[in-house]
């Protein structure tokens, strides 16, 4: 007669297996850094449960897998978009990932893509700065088959001049409405994209007109529609009671700095930077040395300073934990 299993240990609940992660668009997605330690069972044991789960999942993804928040939330069963965004931010602080905009292609095919550089082995800021600076230098030396340097995507494109043989279009007798696609300003059109991007920020026509002047200041400082939409919709709270007030506040507090009208001279045979590090929280681009723990200055706060918008206790616990982790990394 078989002896029944009298063990008092409770069985581990089964977690549904993640769905196969889709590949990112060509040029985007996950990129593993070199010189990593072999996989081990305790690779992420020092992280809280949520970050440990997300880190282990990301580590198993193939090269080029989609790393945007929506894709990660859709493919795994335990956490939604807000939790994924917070976990990625914590993993950046812990030294496992950095996000960057990279120039891909040459000449007329040159385009900018967002890549997530992943390291199973936690790295400190000095290591990441050295790696990203070398990556930027490598891309800078790649030939660009063009006589003119293409601007980054956050620089508004100048309208093409009409050909000499073309006659100017006649002025319509009835003026178009202000909100028609052909007459609306880039700032207004960018605001209309917030609702389709995230329904929590759906704005009415009157709301867009009221905020248009604030958004226009972003374009005057060199931002484009993609940058504005990405920055305003990044890291949203679970609910937004007043989309108009929330967007107004972000347009003011996340306003990018003025850009120099006269860019620094570029040595012959080189081009503009082909890699710009992105803030893991708001997506603002910049040089590697301008970031710490994957965060830009406005998004980075001392561990002992109260947050402007305090979140759940787990967020503060993660911040304190990764602060201790950084100190441990310096001792290795």
Give the mean model confidence (pLDDT) for residues 14-36. Answer: 72
User: Which two three-digit tokens encode residue 6?
Assistant: 């009298």
pLDDT computed for residue 5 by the predictor:
52
* pLDDT at 79 exceeding the cut of 60: yes
Question: What gap in Å lies between CA 117 and CA 129, rounded to an integer?
Answer: 12
* pLDDT at 321 exceeding the cut of 70: no
Question: What gap in Å lies between CA 226 and CA 197, rounded to an integer?
Answer: 11
- 101 burial (CB, 10 Å; 0-12 / 13-18 / 19+) is buried
Q: How many residues does the chain have?
A: 332
Extents of the domains making up the chain: 29-144+275-331, 186-253
Q: How much of the chain is helix, strand and coil, in % rounded to 5?
A: 35, 10, 55
Under 8 Å between Cβ of 207 and 214: no
Question: What gap in Å lies between CA 174 and CA 269, rounded to an integer?
Answer: 51
Q: 107, 115, 102: which is closest to 150 by C-alpha?
A: 107
Backbone angles phi, psi at 200, to 5 degrees: -70, -15
Q: Answer whether 0.85 is exceeded by the pTM.
A: no
User: Which two three-digit tokens encode residue 100?
Assistant: 């960057």
- 314 burial (CB, 10 Å; 0-12 / 13-18 / 19+) is middle
Give the mean model confidence (pLDDT) for residues 246-254. Answer: 92
Q: 226, 252, 237: which is closest to 81 by C-alpha?
A: 237
164-177 tens-digit pLDDT: 444 555 544 433 34
Higher pLDDT, 298 or 118: 118
pLDDT computed for residue 300 by the predictor:
76
Under 8 Å between Cβ of 17 and 57: no
Give the mean model confidence (pLDDT) for residues 34-45. Answer: 86
Under 8 Å between Cβ of 177 and 183: yes
Q: What are the angstrom distances between the C-alpha of 81 and each of 23, 194, 279, 308? A: 18, 17, 18, 21
Question: What gap in Å lies between CA 95 and CA 285, rounded to an integer?
Answer: 18
Under 8 Å between Cβ of 222 and 154: yes
88-99 tens-digit pLDDT: 999 999 999 998
Higher pLDDT, 5 or 95: 95
* pLDDT at 248 exceeding the cut of 90: yes
* pLDDT at 308 exceeding the cut of 90: no
Backbone angles phi, psi at 275, to 5 degrees: -150, 125
**What contacts 190, CB < 8 A, 6 or more positions away?**
215, 218, 225, 228, 229
The mean predicted confidence, pLDDT, of the chain is: 74
């Amino acid at each position: 007669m078989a002896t029944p299993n009298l063990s008092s240990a409770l069985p581990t609940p089964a977690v549904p297996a993640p769905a196969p992660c889709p590949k990112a668009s060509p040029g985007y997605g996950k990129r593993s850094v070199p010189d990593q330690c072999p996989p081990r069972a305790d690779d992420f044991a020092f992280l809280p449960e949520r970050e440990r789960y997300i880190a282990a999942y990301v580590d198993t993804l193939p090269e080029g897998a989609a790393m945007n928040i929506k894709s990660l939330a859709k493919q795994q069963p335990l956490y939604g978009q807000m939790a994924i965004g917070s976990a990625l931010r914590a993993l950046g602080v812990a030294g496992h990932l950095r996000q960057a905009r990279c120039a891909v292609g040459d000449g007329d095919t040159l385009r900018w893509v967002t890549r997530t550089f992943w390291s199973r082995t936690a790295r400190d800021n000095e290591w990441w700065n050295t790696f990203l600076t070398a990556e930027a230098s490598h891309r800078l030396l790649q030939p660009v088959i063009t006589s003119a340097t293409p601007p980054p995507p956050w620089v508004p494109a100048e309208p093409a001049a009409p050909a000499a043989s073309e006659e100017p279009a006649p002025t319509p007798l009835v003026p178009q409405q202000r909100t028609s696609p052909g007459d609306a300003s880039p700032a207004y059109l960018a605001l209309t994209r917030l609702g389709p991007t995230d329904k929590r920020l759906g704005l009415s026509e009157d709301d867009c007109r009221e905020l248009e002047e604030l958004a226009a200041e972003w374009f005057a400082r060199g931002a484009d529609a993609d940058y504005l939409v990405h920055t305003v919709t990044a890291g949203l709270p679970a609910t937004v009671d007043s989309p108009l007030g929330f967007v107004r506040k972000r347009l003011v507090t996340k306003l990018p700095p003025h850009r120099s009208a006269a860019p620094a001279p570029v040595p012959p045979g080189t081009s503009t930077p082909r890699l710009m590090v992105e803030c893991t929280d708001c997506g603002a681009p910049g040089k590697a040395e301008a970031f710490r723990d994957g965060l830009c200055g406005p998004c980075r706060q001392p561990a002992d300073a109260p947050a402007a918008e305090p979140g759940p206790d787990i967020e503060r616990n993660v911040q304190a934990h990764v602060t201790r982790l950084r100190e441990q990394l310096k001792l290795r």
